[in-house]
Amino acid sequence: MSAVRPDTTAAGRLQRLLALVPWLRTHDGTTVVAAAEHFGVSVDTLVEDLNLLIVSGLPGYGPDQLVDIDFFDDEGEITVSNPITVIEPQTLARPLRFSPDEAAALLVALRLLATVPGPHDRGAIASASAKLEKAAGDAVRAAEGLAVLVDAGAAPAVRDAVESALASGRQLHIVYVGALDDRTERDVDPLRIVSLDGRVYLEAWCHRAEAMRTFRLDRIESAEVLAAPVAVPSDAVPLDLQRGVLRPEGAPVTLLLAPQVRWIAEEHPVDAVEEAGDGRLRVVLPLADERWLVRLLLRHGSAIEVLDRPDLAERARADALAALAAYSAG
C-alpha cells in the first residue's frame, strides 16, 4: 500500500488549484515540468489540474467565462491566454473587501495566535488586529455588534512553560489527560505549536511513545521545563499536519470502504490507502479507541468491512443486536 500524500486529498488539490492560476499568470510561458516541480506534484497530476481548470469558470460556462489555458504545444509551455476576463476583475485586479464572516475569521486567527506559546511578536499581532478591525469596521459592526473573543484553553502556567521550553530548546515534563480521560506523565521534546480545527496543539517527540506526537494544549494539566536539551532522533518522521488531522496512538486496523464511505480516508488519518476495485478503498487506519470504530461500524453497517480484526466486527454485531432487543423490550 502507498502512503496518503496531502496533494492527493480533496483539500490539498483545491488549495493547489486556487494557487495555480495566479502563479501561472506571473510565470506565463513556464513548462508543465517546471510547474509540477514548483507545486511538488507529478507531471500527470499537474496535467489533471490543468484539464480541470480549463472547464472551470462562472455560471453560463461559455467560452468567455472559462479559464483559457493553453498547454498542448510541443514544448510543454503553459500560456494563460485569458486569465479569465470574468475572474481577473473579480479576484486578481479588483481590491478585495471583507465580508463580516471573513473579517471575523481573520480576527479569530490573530486573537488565537496571541494566546498560544511561541516566538511571535505579540505587539505586531495587536497592531495587525487593530488595523484589521479599523479596515473592516463597517463589516464587523454590520454583523450586529459582532465581538471576537478567543481562548486557547491552556492554563497560563502551562502556556508559559511551553513557551519557555520552545525558546530555550529544552525538554518538558507534562501531565497529560487524553481523550478517554486517561492521565499520563511524559517527557517530551517540544518542536512547535500548531492550530488545527480550532484547537491548539504542541507537536513534540514523546519519550514515552518513542515517536512524534501532538498534545492538545488545553489537556496539559501541568508542564515543567527540564534542564535536558531537546534531542529529537535523526530518523524521527515529522507529522503530516497539512491534512488537518492528527494521528492517534494505537494499533492500526485495515478496513475495506464502500464507495459511499470513501470520505473516511479524507476525514481521518490513515497510514496507507489503495484502490480495491468497484470504487472501494482499502485503508490502514490507526486506532486509538476501539469503541470509536465500533460506533462507526454501527452507523455505516455493511459499507465498512473490517479485514483484520474480526473481534471488532463481532462487537459491532453484538451491540446492534442488543439495541434491537432493547427496542423489542420497549
Predicted pLDDT at 6? 45
Mean pLDDT in residue range 206-218: 84
Residue that the C-alpha cell 478517554 belongs to: 180
Mean predicted confidence (pLDDT) in 21-25 = 81
The string of pLDDT tens digits covering residues 166-209 is: 888 899 999 998 755 678 899 999 988 877 766 778 888 889 88
Pair 153, 217: CB distance under 8 Å:
yes
Q: Is 316's pLDDT higher than 80?
A: yes
61-113 pLDDT, tens digit each: 555 666 677 776 666 788 776 544 444 444 444 455 666 666 666 766 666 66
Highest mean pLDDT among 27-41, 181-195, 256-270, 304-318: 304-318
**Element housing 203 (H / E):** strand 199-206
Q: How many CB atoms lie within 10 A of CB 283?
A: 24
Q: Quick one: which of 189, 144, 148 has its CA closest to 171? A: 189
Largest CA distance in the chain: 74
What pLDDT does 171 receive? 94
Predicted pLDDT of residue 255:
93
Structure confidence at residue 3 (pLDDT): 41
User: What is the percent of the chain with per-residue pLDDT over 70, rounded to a whole number?
Assistant: 65
Query: Cα-Cα-Cα-Cα dihedral of 116, 121, 127, 130, to 10°?
Result: -10
Q: In this predicted model, which residue has the larger pLDDT, 288 or 285? A: 285
CB 254 within 8 A of CB 284: yes
- Residues 264-292 have a mean pLDDT of 83
| Band (143; pLDDT cuts 50, 70, 90) | very low
Say which CATH architecture domain 156-229 belongs to.
Answer: Roll (2.30)
Residue extents of the structural domains in the chain: 6-93, 100-142, 156-229, 252-329
Q: Tell me which long-range contacts 213-218 makes (C-beta under 8 A, separation of at least 24).
A: 213/188, 213/249, 214/239, 214/241, 214/246, 214/247, 215/174, 215/176, 215/188, 217/116, 217/117, 217/152, 217/153, 217/154, 217/158, 217/159, 217/162, 217/193, 218/152, 218/153, 218/154
Q: What is the mean pLDDT of the chain?
A: 75
Lowest mean pLDDT among 95-99, 214-218, 254-258, 261-265: 95-99
CA distances from 58 to 54, 63, 221, 274 (A): 12, 10, 51, 35
The rounded distance, in Å, linking the Cα atoms of 57 and 62 is 9
| CA distances (Å), origin 91, targets 8, 29, 50, 73, 288 | 26, 21, 19, 28, 43
Q: What is the mean pLDDT of residues 131-141?
A: 61
Q: Domain 252-329 class?
A: alpha beta
Q: What is the pLDDT of residue 198?
A: 64
